[in-house]
Structure 1
Amino acid sequence: MNIQNLIRPTIKALKPYSSARDEFQGNSSAMVFLDANENPFENGVNRYPDPQQRTVKSLLSKIKDIPQQNILLGNGSDEVLDLIFRAFCEPNQDNIITLPPTYGMYSVLANINAIEIKSTLLDNNFQPKVDDILKTVNENSKLLFLCTPNNPTGNSFKTKSIERLIKEFKGIVVIDEAYIDFSNEESWASRLKDFPNLIVTQTLSKAYGMAGIRLGICYSSEEIISVLNRIKPPYNVNELTQLKAIDRLSNIENVQGEIKRIVLDRNQLAQELSAINFIEKIYPSDANFLLVKVDDANLRYQQLIKNGIVIRNRTNQALCDNCLRITIGTFAENENLIMTLKSLK
């Protein structure tokens, strides 16, 4: 596959902005910086941040065993996804493929960028219908979004289905792995060398517990990463975000301990929810949440709100009739939820 044929002509011709910190890449410790029109008085954030986030990428590279040149960071995964749209999708001409029920931002970003949305529902087990997906594709289909583990269903897609889609889809396959750390499945980022049209997105918002700093991660071929780097804002990840990420990534053992705790609590919560009489089904989950089917989702959602507990009502999503999505909380929060559910009539 020739990735260059998928890039928008205007992006290929674009001359990227070169920031002051892009132009000077030497040893900064002994230099006097009079190049970027910064306030010279030191306060910790008076200088522009590293536009390539080298220290953060170095830590991620060691943790994930992926070369730094295969990593791009964004202001949340939403910025990463938007960059992908702008690099590959021609407005009012191209289309994307989504698999509802799935993460809603794919469609929002498509609408913002004037890109047609073609959707193929998952099957009743929330798995991709590969033949139907490939029949939906046409010559203007540029992006295929696979969210696995999936949001809001929590399940992982079958490896054989994903592999076939990557091989047979003639555009870019974006695998959204926001919840991969809670799963026993291997990240598709380990297969980048096998598939030149593969992009894998992850985040520090879920397992790493850093939703507040907004740091999204993109893993792909060096060719695709270079394209996205051309169009990203020069200082898209601020200094405070980088410092917080460095601190968290430097203490990976703490993160791993929290992940184990969440997975144990998820399994325990699923067991306790099964005893609630109005819960009809608890779907398998590889994420930090559970999707449950109840007798009346709107009623149960409002009852929980009145009792001071906020969950997500997903009943209006495809294939999710009367379904609620419950995030795994602390032990005390989970116990409060169970006690409240048992008291409802």
Structure 2
Amino acid sequence: MPVNTMHGGNIYQFARRIGCLPEQVLDFSANINPQQAVDWVSLRTVNLTPYADPDYSQLKQAFKQRYPYPANADCEVFNGASAAIFALLRFLRPRQLLLYAPLYSEYVRMGRQLGCQLSFINRFDEDLDAVIPRGSTVVFVNPATPDGQLYDLHPLLLRWQQADCTIVIDESFLDFCLSESAMESISQYDKLYVIKSLSKFYGCAGIRIGFVIAAVSAVNALKQYEPSWKLSSLDMAYMQQALVNTDFIAQTHQQTAILRQLLHQALCDSGLFEHVYPSAANFLLARLPGNCDGHALQSALESERILIRVCDNFIGLDQRHVRFAVKDQHTIEQLAYALAHV
């Protein structure tokens, strides 16, 4: 099966097609916090003349303060979560790659490029207690994408460990949930890798920063394949300020819950969807009925400059599945009006 690498957030291509400016697009396709954690004015004093710290010392210190991990663990920084995914799979070079789908297409694409033997467990249709190939590399996204379901990983982690698996947990959207990270389990299992993305929660998709957290020995080995200066001084300065903004963190948790409910109500009130999936993240997945097509819905919304995410390139989903990011109240109200007139 060919992999469609289409990704949410390509407002530039969409704007060119419908004849508007990118900033005029109401972008429900990219799951980015509508608020930002840092005022750009505070970054004017960043010194861009010298090379940035190749060890990312201050950034890593701020990261560990925000996300405490076990004493036997360390972290490595990457130019975004996508770069972390590609680098980690290249490093691990798994023979068998078990993917709990639907999930990000990057894992499928990289697994095929590496010649991995791919297998899938459909989270929607299959029992999560399905047989695990012994010694395989398992990838699980929590909260899941594109539906936002939050899973209790403790029983799954135990089963994977008993099968001697290498485990990759992608927590790109966990910050939107009041839930503990899988990082703590690294203290009991040194074949566990956790991926964190910071751009989504902190509202800065243009600042490309992601982390891999794993046992110290694993991170040291991973570093040997990585170049120096993967991040700019501006990237690091922004994220160091964002990580210590505790008021922003609390406000986002409260705001996301309220706006997600408002979005859920708008989707239900439209009468267009046969099911809206419950979510713990900052997006909602909805399913159109019968032979309805998400691409047709997207076409119908173009006159209002609304961009959504049709999820037919996710393993296990089809063109009936569409995803909507949580946006600010006014933007959600504009969506509700548009859906009511489709």
> Is residue 194 of structure 2 the alignment partner of residue 200 of structure 1?
yes
Query: In 1, distance between residues paired with 2:316 and 2:287?
Result: 11
**1:338, distance to aligned residue in structure 2 (A):** 0.7
Report the secondary structure of 1:192's partner residue.
helix
Report the secondary structure of 2:337's partner residue.
helix
Residue 177 of structure 2 contacts residue 253 of structure 2 at CA under 8 Å; is this kept in 1? no
Q: Which residue of 1 aligns with 2:128?
A: 129
Q: Which residue of 1 aligns with 2:334?
A: 336
Residue 70 of structure 2 contacts residue 186 of structure 2 at CA under 8 Å; is this kept in 1? no
Q: Which residue of 2 aligns with 1:89?
A: 93
Q: Which residue of 2 aligns with 1:37?
A: none
Give the alignment partner of residue 79 of structure 1, picking from 83, 87, 94. 83
Residue 144 of structure 1 contacts residue 174 of structure 1 at CA under 8 Å; is this kept in 2? yes
Q: Which residue of 2 aligns with 1:298?
A: 295
Q: Which residue of 2 aligns with 1:101?
A: 102
Residue 70 of structure 2 contacts residue 184 of structure 2 at CA under 8 Å; is this kept in 1? no
**How many residue pairs end up in the alignment?**
292
Give the TM-score taking structure 2 as reference length. 0.79
Residue 123 of structure 1 contacts residue 129 of structure 1 at CA under 8 Å; is this kept in 2? no
Match of 2:101, as an amino acid? P
Q: Which residue of 2 aligns with 1:65?
A: 68
> Is residue 50 of structure 2 the alignment partner of residue 51 of structure 1?
no
**1:44, distance to aligned residue in structure 2 (A):** 2.9
**1:301, distance to aligned residue in structure 2 (A):** 2.0
Q: Which residue of 2 aligns with 1:214?
A: 208
Relative distance call for 1:166 and 1:253 in structure 2 (3 A) is farther
Query: Which string of whole-angstrom CA distances, capped at 9 and with x for unpartnered residues, describes residues 136-163 of structure 1?
Result: x255x3x211011111121022334422
Relative distance call for 1:163 and 1:67 in structure 2 (3 A) is closer
Q: Alignment identity in percent?
A: 22
**1:80, distance to aligned residue in structure 2 (A):** 1.6
Relative distance call for 1:275 and 1:200 in structure 2 (3 A) is same
> Is residue 181 of structure 2 the alignment partner of residue 184 of structure 1?
no
**1:274, distance to aligned residue in structure 2 (A):** 1.6
**1:60, distance to aligned residue in structure 2 (A):** 1.3
Q: Which residue of 2 aligns with 1:24?
A: none
Report the secondary structure of 2:306's partner residue.
coil
Match of 1:130, as an amino acid? D
Match of 1:103, as an amino acid? Y
Relative distance call for 1:318 and 1:108 in structure 2 (3 A) is closer
Relative distance call for 1:236 and 1:128 in structure 2 (3 A) is farther
Query: In 2, distance between residues paired with 1:74 and 1:96?
Result: 22
Q: Which residue of 2 aligns with 1:308?
A: 305
Residue 134 of structure 2 contacts residue 165 of structure 2 at CA under 8 Å; is this kept in 1? no
Query: In 1, distance between residues paired with 2:93 and 2:104?
Result: 19
1:6-17 alignment runs, 5 A limit: none
Unaligned runs of 5+ in 1: 1-42
Query: In 2, distance between residues paired with 1:294 and 1:328?
Result: 19
Report the secondary structure of 1:83's partner residue.
helix
Relative distance call for 1:316 and 1:86 in structure 2 (3 A) is closer
Residue 128 of structure 1 contacts residue 161 of structure 1 at CA under 8 Å; is this kept in 2? no
**1:224, distance to aligned residue in structure 2 (A):** 1.3
Residue 194 of structure 2 contacts residue 212 of structure 2 at CA under 8 Å; is this kept in 1? yes
Q: Which residue of 1 aligns with 2:3?
A: none
* More divergent stretch after superposition (46-55 vs 285-294): 46-55
CA RMSD of aligned residues (A): 2.1
Residue 89 of structure 1 contacts residue 95 of structure 1 at CA under 8 Å; is this kept in 2? no
**1:202, distance to aligned residue in structure 2 (A):** 0.8
Unaligned runs of 5+ in 2: 1-45
* More divergent stretch after superposition (114-123 vs 147-156): 114-123
User: Which has the greater radius of gyration?
Assistant: 1
Match of 2:108, as an amino acid? S
Query: Which string of whole-angstrom CA distances, capped at 9 and with x for unpartnered residues, describes residues 302-339 of structure 1?
Result: 21223210010013534433111000111111110011
**1:167, distance to aligned residue in structure 2 (A):** 1.5
1:143-292 alignment runs, 5 A limit: 143-292=137-286
Report the secondary structure of 2:103's partner residue.
coil
Residue 172 of structure 1 contacts residue 198 of structure 1 at CA under 8 Å; is this kept in 2? yes
Give the TM-score taking structure 1 as reference length. 0.78
Report the secondary structure of 1:241's partner residue.
helix
Q: Which residue of 2 aligns with 1:320?
A: 317
Query: In 2, distance between residues paired with 1:180 and 1:59?
Result: 18
Question: Higher RCO, 1 or 2 (CA under 8 Å, sep at least 6)?
Answer: 2
* More divergent stretch after superposition (229-238 vs 170-179): 229-238
